[in-house]
Homo-oligomer: A and B are copies of this chain.
Amino acid sequence: MKNNWLEHLKEKLKTDQYSSSESERYRHSHDESSHHAVEPEVVCFPESKEDIQAILETARTFGIPVTPFGAGSGLEGQAIPVKGGISLDFERMNQVLKFSPEDMQITVQPGITRKQLNKLINRQGLYFPIDPGADASIGGMAATNASGTTAVRYGTMRDQITDMEVVLADGTIIHTGSKAKKSSSGYHLTGLFTGSEGTLGIITEITLKLHGIPEHVIAASCTFSTPRECAEAAHMILLSGIPILRMEFVDALSISQVNTYGNYGIPERHSLFFEFAGMKKAAEEEAVLAEELLTGLGAENWKVAVDAEERSLIWKARHEMSYAFRHLKGTKVTGGDVCVPISKLPDLIDYARELIEESALVGGILGHIGDGNFHTLIVFDSESPAQQEAAELVNEKLAFRAIELGGTCTGEHGVGIGKRKFQQTEHGAAVSVMKNMKQLLDPENLLNPDKIFE
């Protein structure tokens, strides 16, 4: 049977479009999470939606699972082919299909990465602001509803997509929306497929809203004595209505970690990082008002960076935080991704700190505090099951507490493998509705099986 399906598959593709080499199977067996790696039997490199239809035909005929693979930067094992079968790598589907600067819109294939995309559009004065720390693929970002430091202004991937082309499990090709900026026509399939982690269909085209590069940008940072003070100050900034582009929290331990990693020399205290952006006078006014408000709340070390180099250094450091925890030999990192109403943040961050201390492991806290979203990054010895368990217990307790507070177990990373256990508690009776939708769109459970639901 097995050779059978591989033969069936190979007949439809060019010989360089599939590989069962050890290196490709290894490369597609894991993502950036600490979840158990599983190798696919074959990796396919589709070049068109027709290739994908053909691959799905084999999958249906022989009951072979298909797991899409973007840049493999996921943090919940979403791209791991836990049931083997086919890994679908989009690296050859990375073209811009239509760039319409006049409509501030672009249609791309899923394999293009966010940095490649920005390189192409920046010269037109436009940018695509969603920025997970990694250079993720747009397809992967759509599939996980990714966001990042700019969500506080622009929202998440879901808010940026007006249309997707999707190949369904049965080979049907649909468009989920249109090129209009808003629509009240039909059911909102765009929102449904965004964040579905490859379990409902294969995304082959994505139309994104683009944004004008702000005329003027001011970066700033300040420090406080405790994480709680940072959270309270962030809350005050939001209530004040000062329109920030970015507002990030990083605790002292994480800063010392990134200083060691990148030699940044940033003050090793609990810190808030800001970006104010827009018309020149507006951004300047905002920065001044923020400084007044923050120093009134006891902020220290207020520092402003206007020139591009200094600014990008700060944000490079922020984006490297997560890698800074990952670079230690023999260790792994696991992390939570809770998101709660902003008023609950101070308590929840205190609770996270307590849990990390109880676990006796090294762990930092940082996050997109303006959205009520933060991450724990907990380092454990990859050879010690006890340490791994202790690290996971922190995430688990934190996730359940976040749900209790009306929040979510995952603000941006998605469910994948690691957050399946929270779905019933978070979504209750809605889980059956979700499972029915999966059943409706993928009755044979071929598309990324065993993700999101247990």
Flag whether A214 is at the interface (Cβ < 8 A). Answer: yes
User: A256: which B residues are within 8 A, CB to CB?
Assistant: none
Beyond A188-B158, A278-B282, A285-B282, is A408–B183 a contact (Cβ under 8 Å)?
yes
User: A422: which B residues are within 8 A, CB to CB?
Assistant: 185
User: Which of A279, A373, A409, A428 lies at the interface centre, i.e. has the most chain B CB atoms within 10 A of its CB?
Assistant: A279
Taking a contact as CB atoms under 8 Å apart, the answer to whether A187 and B343 are in contact is no
Flag whether A430 is at the interface (Cβ < 8 A). Answer: yes
A268-296 to B contact mask, C-beta < 8 Å, 1/0: 00000000001111100110010000000
* Total copies of this chain within the assembly: 2
A404 → chain B, closest Cβ, in Å?
11
Taking a contact as CB atoms under 8 Å apart, the answer to whether B188 and A194 are in contact is yes
Chain B residue, CB-CB nearest to A403: B178
Q: Which listed segment binds B: A108-116, A237-245, A320-328?
A: A237-245
Taking a contact as CB atoms under 8 Å apart, the answer to whether B242 and A279 are in contact is yes
User: A243: which B residues are within 8 A, CB to CB?
Assistant: 278-279
Q: How many residues belonging to A are interface residues under a CB distance threshold of 8 Å?
A: 96
A277 → chain B, closest Cβ, in Å?
10
User: A175: which B residues are within 8 A, CB to CB?
Assistant: 427-428, 430
- Please, how many angstroms separate the alpha-carbon atoms of A337 and B180 in the complex? 12
Taking a contact as CB atoms under 8 Å apart, the answer to whether B437 and A437 are in contact is yes
- Please, how many angstroms separate the alpha-carbon atoms of A5 and B342 in the complex? 48
Taking a contact as CB atoms under 8 Å apart, the answer to whether B183 and A411 are in contact is yes
A406-435 to B contact mask, C-beta < 8 Å, 1/0: 111111111100010011001111111110
User: Which of A192, A402, A433 lies at the interface centre, i.e. has the most chain B CB atoms within 10 A of its CB?
Assistant: A433
Flag whether A225 is at the interface (Cβ < 8 A). Answer: no
Report A79-127 residues with CB < 8 Å from chain B CB. Answer: 100, 102-105
Chain B residue, CB-CB nearest to A212: B241
A sample of 15 more A-B contacts (CB under 8 A), given A102-B343, A281-B282, is: A102-B239, A155-B182, A174-B430, A178-B406, A180-B371, A180-B408, A181-B373, A182-B373, A184-B195, A185-B408, A186-B452, A188-B194, A433-B441, A436-B440, A437-B437
Kindly list the 3 A-B residue pairs having the minimum CB-CB distance in the complex, ordered from nearest. Answer: A191-B191, A282-B282, A179-B406
